[in-house]
Amino acid sequence: MHSFNRDVGSLGESLAVKYLTDMGYIILDRNFRCKLGEIDIIAKDNDYISFIEVKSRYGLCYGTPAESVTLHKQYRIYRAAQLYILKKNIHKYDFRFDVLELIFNNNDNNYSIRLIKDAFQL
């Protein structure tokens, strides 16, 4: 089951990158990992640097994908973002935390996508 979830996540992230670039985002980084946490996608959206959590699901029986971004998960993303900002020396930008959710319906080619800008703040 773990591999299946990872495959859904990888597919979701690939579709998310395409969606974001189509929306004019410039992808700066993918899968930034450190001991503090992980960020799926880091992208520039006009004057904002956006830290994007991608959540993919088949159906809604466990709630919306965005609902799975718990306060604990938000904190880990926030801490990883702080380190990223420090490492890349990008203090001059405004920052935002977005959630991009993908809901697959029956097969991988039939899905809905929703970008929630400024989904959370800490």
Residue 97 lies inside a defined structural domain of this protein: yes
Q: Name the pTM for this structure.
A: 0.90
Residue 122 lies inside a defined structural domain of this protein: no
Q: What is the pLDDT of residue 1?
A: 43
Range of the domain at 48: 2-116
8: CB partners within 8 A, 6+ apart: 56, 57, 58, 104
> For the residues 83-92, what does the mean pLDDT come to?
94
Cβ atoms within 10 Å, residue 86 = 10
DSSP H helices in the chain:
2-22, 71-88
Residue 74 lies inside a defined structural domain of this protein: yes
Higher pLDDT, 14 or 2: 14
Q: Which of 50, 63, 71 is closest to 103 using CA atoms?
A: 63
Helix, strand, or coil here: 88? helix
> For the residues 19-39, what does the mean pLDDT come to?
96
Residue 59 lies inside a defined structural domain of this protein: yes
Task: Reply yes or no on whether the pLDDT at 71 is more than 50.
Answer: yes
What confidence category does residue 63 fall into, taking pLDDT thresholds of 50, 70 and 90? confident
Task: Reply yes or no on whether the pLDDT at 26 is more than 80.
Answer: yes
